[in-house]
Homo-oligomer: A and B are copies of this chain.
Amino acid sequence: MANEKITIKMVSEKANVSKTTVSRYLNGKYEFMSAETKKRIEEVIAELEYRPNALAQGLKNNKTGLIGIVVSNIMIPEVAALVRGVNDYCIRKSFQVILVETDQKNISQQDQIQALIDRQVEGLILSSNQDEAFVKSLTEQKVKIVLADCTIEELMIDTVIVDNEKATAEMIQRIYSEGFDRVAYFTPPLTTPSRKKKLALFLESSKIAVRNPEQLAFEIEETQVAFDACKESLNELLKKNQGYRLAILAENSELMFALIHVIYSLGLRIPEDVAIGGYDDLGWNKLYHHEMSVIEKPSYEIGSQAAELLVKRISKGKMQYKPKVIEVQPKIKMSGSTQVSDNSFDKIVIRMNQENQPYIKKNYRKQDD
């Protein structure tokens, strides 16, 4: 891009040494030259404002210092946090990051990933769902890959994943111990292993408190207006569970927020009438009137851990080792959305009115399962 490109050759000529010596200088091999030569090269480089061409270096060394990060959409806050985690780590290790978003229209994500490989990136962090066969073909080409917050069944590969098990159990247990007697679970369609896993965790954790937790699980249709589907399911929940203190756990934050809207739109209060918690905090949380209780996915950490895994694998070169799986722990944040001060708690309970709409009855009497 510079007007007249300064090359190593020009430096060598001006400094009256060979390209080799300049190259040695560039690579810090000062043992191989006199102090005087070193100084001269130094001066010429400064004078000419010479900068080595990373492309040529890369071609020669088979090292580009480039990694690719493949995400669905950078505008999703968790994705942004993950990317930042990756970038922060990479910068410290002198890598730079090429960003690929997979939910673009008109462009095949596989083409984009292939383009990364053609560029000789030294590794890939995948954080959006990928075709298993495709990823497999990549690993067979010895492309170094780390999966960040996604999994590919039957593929042994470096992975950073969230362990929701303990957190889910604890969240549910704490909600119950707050005095709620039903924790319902709302999930989008169970199309991914991760969602199925989360549901399983919910069911398992709920067993200690409720006899048939399956009845408390709602699969919400994946519609544009999640609002409507949520409203329907919520109504059903309320209907079936009149007289109980209800709490909701949402599989993800979007669903949680849809539910929050539904709850408000029904004229119900959080948490007095319905408590709500969920997974992941999109950063909005602190902006609500009271915070929402969430199991917070440590996206930044997932990113930085994934980057670390990748950089390690890259630097190992031929000396490869078995795939590593890192499980990071989410943080549990219990906040106002699931905590009811004692005096207000004793007065509330939801019932349905004639039109099958929820209304609030002031006298609460605890019932058994």
User: Which residues does A use to contact B, with CB under 8 Å?
Assistant: 1-3, 51-56, 58-59, 64, 66, 73-75, 77, 80-81, 83-84, 87-88, 91-92, 96-101, 104, 106-107, 112, 114-120, 122, 141-144, 257, 260-261, 264, 283-284, 287-289
Report which of B1, B58, B80 forms a contact with A55, defined as CB distance below 8 A: B58
Complex contacts, A74 vs chain B, CB 8 Å: 74, 80, 83-84, 87
Report which of B106, B117, B260 forms a contact with A51, defined as CB distance below 8 A: B117
Assembled-state Cα–Cα distance A74/B66 (Å): 18
Q: Closest 8 CB pairs between A and B?
A: A54-B118, A284-B284, A54-B119, A2-B141, A75-B80, A55-B59, A80-B80, A74-B80
Assembled-state Cα–Cα distance A284/B87 (Å): 25
Q: With A74-B84, A284-B287 known to touch, is A97 a contact of B99 (CB < 8 Å)?
A: yes
Contact indicator B114/A91 (Cβ below 8 Å): no
Q: How many subunits of this chain does the assembly comprise?
A: 2
A118 to chain B, nearest CB (A): 4
Kindly list 15 other residue pairs between chains A and B, CB separation below 8 angstroms, not including A74-B80, A96-B116, A257-B287.
Answer: A1-B142, A2-B142, A2-B143, A3-B142, A51-B114, A53-B59, A74-B84, A74-B87, A77-B77, A83-B99, A87-B99, A88-B104, A96-B99, A97-B99, A264-B289
Complex contacts, A284 vs chain B, CB 8 Å: 283-284, 287
Contact indicator A98/B101 (Cβ below 8 Å): no
Complex contacts, A54 vs chain B, CB 8 Å: 115, 118-120
Contact indicator A104/B118 (Cβ below 8 Å): no
List 22 A-B residue pairs with CB atoms under 8 Å apart, sorted by A's residue number: A1-B117, A1-B120, A1-B141, A52-B118, A55-B59, A55-B119, A59-B59, A66-B119, A74-B74, A74-B84, A75-B77, A75-B84, A75-B283, A80-B80, A87-B104, A91-B104, A91-B112, A92-B107, A96-B100, A98-B98, A99-B99, A264-B289
Q: With A104-B91, A120-B55 known to touch, is A1 a contact of B144 (CB < 8 Å)?
A: yes
